[in-house]
Amino acid sequence: MTKRAPRPAARILLTNAQGRVLLFRFTPDDRPPMWCTPGGAVDPGESYAAAARRELWEETGLDLDCGPEVAQRIADFRTFEGVEVTADERYFRVAIDDHDISSANLTDQEKQLMAGWHWFDRAEIARHHEPIYPADLIEMLDATEPAT
């Protein structure tokens, strides 16, 4: 049995005024393309909230407080570097009106692997032909919908 490395991660459910969620398309060489929420690994000494803010800035150009954690998920997977991990993913929900996504702050690896982005509505998520992570994204969006 493979020993998995722990990987704390912060992920952002970034929604726009139309209720769509931002996902990035990744095209790694070792597996089929996939779509993921913004976010990534927590750096040593960094809090989940600080990592969420940093990742949001790196991947979108938005410098915002991501608010409180709204969900948590434990997931086993292989990173793009080929490391088997058990990720402790903490989710933050951020609502914006509209914003042009900026790739200016992406890491070199993100520039290599990210092949675009799209604002998805729930129907698009449900019928999309490529994998979307987290797999229960629609349920997570429903469960974290702000009260009106």
Over residues 105-144, the pLDDT tens digits come to: 888 888 888 889 999 999 999 999 999 999 999 999 999 9
Paired sense of beta strands 21-26 and 34-36, if any: antiparallel
Domain boundaries, the chain: 5-143
Residues in Cβ contact with 13 at an 8 Å cutoff, skipping those fewer than 6 apart: 21, 37, 70, 71, 91, 92, 93, 94, 140, 141, 144
Helix (H, G, I), strand (E, B) or coil at 89: strand
Q: When comparing pLDDT for 76 and 100, which is higher?
A: 76
Buried b (16+ CB within 10 A) or exposed e, 59-77: bbebebebeeebbebeeee
For residue 143, count other CB atoms closer than 10 A to its CB: 11
For residue 2, count other CB atoms closer than 10 A to its CB: 7
Whole-angstrom Cα distance, residue 27 to residue 112?
Answer: 9
Q: For position 1, what pLDDT does the model report?
A: 61
Contact 27, 35 (CB under 8 A): no
| 47-71 pLDDT tens trace | 999 999 999 999 999 999 999 999 9
Contact 20, 95 (CB under 8 A): no
Q: Please state which CATH class domain 5-143 belongs to.
A: alpha beta
Q: How far is CA 26 from CA 4, 14, 41, 132, in A?
A: 22, 17, 16, 10
Residue 19 has pLDDT above 90, yes or no: yes
Q: How far is CA 47 from CA 50, 65, 69, 112, in A?
A: 5, 13, 11, 27
pTM: 0.93
